[in-house]
Amino acid sequence: MFSSKIIFVLIIMLFSIFLLNPYNSSYGTFSKNQNLSSSNNLFSESLSKVPPSALYESDTSVTDSNETNVEAQTLQQDVPFIENTIKTEIKDKTSSSLPMNMSFQNSDNNSTTQNLTSFQSLREYYLSHWDKLSFQSSFNTFVEPNSTLGYGIFKKHSHEFVAGDPIYLYIEPIGFKHKAIKDEFGNNMYLTNITTTITLSDEKGNEIPSIEDVHSAIVKSYNKITELYLPISIELFSPLSPGNYYLEYDVVDNVSKEYFIIQKDLKIINNS
């Protein structure tokens, strides 16, 4: 009796397992219209494209929404790093295409101030040695009339001049001194005062007084100047006869009372 009941229960259990088996021939075929979608709804794929072996793998689940959100948050956190990396690569490529002697200058105010301070210190050092120089001519030459346009800007002329032509001498003096003065508002200024006296003699040493023989150069500046040029012209009251002459320029610094002399040979020729 007891064994009959056991057999009966076992038969009922086996029958139930058979009916509930998902791989039973009557329930084991998936519909072709049934889709497998991801948890974040980014894609859908027909089951007919899934290899049959994948259906029996132990882990066939799609990543759940929580894991997807974590990945998205991680990616968003990495965005600044990725952008910086891209910018750095672009900058490196751009810099590598520049010439070797080209570089970007830093316009920082501190650097500008340091450069200005260095320049001012260098200029003060230069002026301290300037004051030790004796008053003299560093350069002088005859020049074409009205060709002097600035310091070192002129057109040279030989020592030969046509009778009746004006005579110009260009001089660059150095070592002249500066006198401290005030302007009308009481601001500090510096005075440079140079006088040039010209003497003309013939080849026998006889002075010829028929020239305007005094030139004055008076300069007032807010900074001590060092680049000064003197365009000295001679105006003759009467044309010189052809021949050889001597010009003497006595240049006096009225601040320091120093002076120097320039002597020039002069040849007057006929106008052919």
Domain with CATH 2.70.50.30 in the chain: 130-269
Q: What is the mean pLDDT of residues 86-95?
A: 53
Q: What is the mean pLDDT of residues 143-147?
A: 94
Encode 27-76 in three state secondary structure. CCCCCCCCEEECCCCCCEEEHHHCCHHHHHCCCCCCCCHHHHHHHHHHHH
Write down the pTM of the prediction: 0.59
Token pair in block for residue 207: 């002075």
Rounded to whole angstroms, the Cα distance separating 249 from 252 reads 10
Rounded to whole angstroms, the Cα distance separating 134 from 124 reads 18
- The alpha carbon of residue 200 and the mean position of all alpha carbons in its chain are separated, in whole angstroms, by 53
Instruction: Assign 164 a pLDDT band (cuts: 50, 70, 90).
Output: confident
Write the CB contacts of 229 (distance below 8 Å, at least 6 apart in sequence): 148, 150, 151, 152, 170, 171, 172
Over residues 59-76, the pLDDT tens digits come to 444 445 555 555 556 555
The sign of the torsion formed by the CA atoms of 199, 263, 245, 149 equals negative
Choice among 67-71, 97-101, 156-160, 222-226 with the minimum mean pLDDT: 97-101
DSSP state of 23: T
The sign of the torsion formed by the CA atoms of 58, 64, 70, 71 equals positive
Choice among 64-73, 138-147, 257-266 with the minimum mean pLDDT: 64-73
CATH topology of domain 130-269: Coagulation Factor XIII; Chain A, domain 1 (2.70.50)
Token pair in block for residue 262: 């320039």
Q: Please name which of 236, 217, 230 lies closest in space to residue 166, comparing C-alpha atoms.
A: 236
Strands 259-269 and 160-162: parallel
The residue behind tokens 């106008």 is: 271
Write the CB contacts of 228 (distance below 8 Å, at least 6 apart in sequence): 151, 172, 173, 176, 192, 194, 217, 219
Q: Please name which of 238, 252, 244 lies closest in space to residue 206, comparing C-alpha atoms.
A: 244
